[in-house]
Chain A
Amino acid sequence: MTEPSDDLVERFRAALPHTDEVRCPSAEEYWAAAVGELPFERLQSLVDHGASCAECAEAWRILGELRHEPDVAPGAMPLHPPAPEGHRPLMGRAFAPLMITAIAAGALWVAFRPAPIEPPSVERGNGSGSFHAESRPVQPPGNAVLRWSEVPGATSYNVTVLTQDLVVVHRSVGLSSRELRLPEAVGQRAAGTGLLWNVDAVLPDGRTVASPTFEVRLGDGR
């Protein structure tokens, strides 16, 4: 069980520096992060930003509070869920010896259990090692095409394109092909800079395989 950490929470919040919010990610991105729509790398950069910007930390906290509402995040459980009311150990006596044995076994397990295994570095899907960009890293801004490798079994692909400040500038959902022609306006706006992009491959059972974040440099159009 996670220890209460009110002292750390207060210390953390008091230490956060204020910023001018020029480089803050959008609120839409924060929500997408909270509902698990973002690949780990991007989520991590948003979370790290929230740990260096009091204004974004505030947005995270408001988000956290909203996420506690039952119809916002169905199934979310409190950290320390209360015991159900009205529970009565009707068969307590009959099962007392069993319970004592179970408690003893539990105590032994706690004392000698192996260290918990942390989740693998690729959190979703079946590994991003083979998931790579196939388009050129430098492209003309008015005619940029993003291509990526095939993910076996994927039924569709979702692509998100962001500026280097992590502002989403384009999103395509449900692509059946493995390429996305960047809208000319998006490319022209980013001319002379780079854009970040990543792909979520959607599998038949609804799971997604997240790609690493790729970068495409867009020439200055001259």
Chain B
Amino acid sequence: MARTRGDNGGSDPEDAATLERIRQVLIRAVQRHCPPPLAAHREDFVQMALIRLLERTTGEETTARGTSYLWRVAYTVVIDEIRRFRRQQRQAGQLSESEPGTPGPEARSEILDCLSSLQDRRRTAVTLHLQGFRTAEVATALGWTEKQAENLVYRGLADLRSCLEGEDR
């Protein structure tokens, strides 16, 4: 399919409002979850992401696939931008101060070891929970019912706490 730059609107007030909301949410998310030196560039990441989003999507495509498609593309391009920035910083040797190297075995230990010892499905559900996913979102990702996801997160957290208590003693 031929893709033309910028023809998905921005002229349509509804599209413009959607893009503005995506921009705001992305900026907030980058600010909240990236370390300060990267978060300082949040406006740049998101701006670049939105430009690439407009390059990659057309009005027809967006209309056919709905707003969630715009979110999907926006997410992938903003992560790509962050990775690209990190690569450049790494090559320039500028990332070392903001992001320390891999922690030693002492720092790693407990919680990751305990997490990795959990039963597969509980580990997956708990890890998603620890990454900030809500129960319904864990359920969607795993293709389970919300009740099943809640149950696995609950049991997985209990196992994790129990393992950590054993480690702490």
CA–CA, A34 and B150, complex, Å: 16
Contacts of B137 in A (CB 8 A): 34, 64, 67-68, 73, 76
Rounded to whole Å, the gap between the CB of B117 and the closest CB of chain A is 12
Whether A43 contacts B99 by the Cβ 8 Å rule is no
Known contacts A17-B103, A58-B33; A26 and B76 CB within 8 A of each other: yes
Partner of B30, one of A62, A73, A121: A62
A176 at interface, CB cutoff 8 A: no
Q: Scoring B residues 77 to 104 as 1 if CB is less than 8 Å from chain A, else 0, what string do you get?
A: 1111011001100100000000111110
Is the pair A65, B25 in contact by a Cβ cutoff of 8 Å?
yes
Give the Cβ gap from A74 to chain B, nearest Cβ, in Å.
8
> Is A100 at the interface (CB under 8 A from chain B)?
no
Given A40-B142, A58-B33: A17 touches B148 (CB 8 Å cut-off) = no
**Is the Cβ of B33 less than 8 Å from the Cβ of A61?**
yes
Task: Determine the residue in chain B with the shortest Cβ distance to A124.
Answer: B143
CB-CB contacts of A10-52 with B at 8 A, as 1s and 0s? 0111011111110010111011011110001001100110111
Size band of the A side of the interface?
A: 35 or more
Contact: A65 with B29, CB < 8 Å?
yes
Contact across chains for A61 and B157 when beta carbons are under 8 A apart: no
How many residues on chain B are close to A (CB under 8 Å)? 69
Instruction: Assess whether A33 is in contact with B29, with CB atoms less than 8 Å apart.
Output: no
Q: Is B127 on the interface with A (CB-CB < 8 A)?
A: yes
A21 pairs with B87, CB closer than 8 A: yes
Say if the beta carbon of A133 comes within 8 Å of chain B. no
Please name all residues of chain B whose beta carbon is closer than 8 Å to the beta carbon of A119 when the two chains form the complex.
Answer: 121, 144-145, 148, 152
Give the chain A neighbours of B64 by CB distance below 8 A: none
Flag whether A8 is at the interface (Cβ < 8 A): yes
Determine the distance from Cα of A64 to Cα of B115 in the docked complex, in whole angstroms: 20
User: Within 8 Å of chain B (Cβ to Cβ): is A72?
Assistant: yes
- Point out the residue from A11, A36, A118 that lies within 8 Å of B121, measured CB to CB: A118
Taking the complex as formed, is B11 at the interface, i.e. its CB lies under 8 A from any CB of chain A? no
Pick from A27, A69, A76: contact of B79, CB below 8 A.
A27
Given A18-B100, A62-B79, 16 extra CB contacts under 8 A:
A1-B150, A3-B154, A5-B129, A8-B161, A9-B132, A15-B109, A34-B133, A34-B140, A35-B72, A35-B140, A61-B32, A65-B25, A66-B26, A73-B136, A116-B151, A123-B144
* A-B residue pairs, 3 tightest by C-beta: A64-B132, A27-B79, A60-B131
Which B residues form the contact surface with A (CB < 8 A)?
A: 25-26, 28-30, 32-34, 67-68, 71-72, 74-80, 82-83, 86-87, 90, 99-103, 107-112, 115-116, 120-121, 123-124, 127-137, 140-146, 148, 150-155, 157, 160-161
A-B contact pairs, 8 of them (CB 8 A): A8-B157, A12-B112, A21-B87, A34-B137, A44-B120, A62-B29, A66-B26, A73-B136
On A, residues with C-beta under 8 Å from B are 1-3, 5, 8-9, 11-13, 15-21, 24, 26-28, 30-31, 33-36, 40, 43-44, 47-48, 50-52, 54-55, 57-69, 71-79, 116, 118-119, 121, 123-124
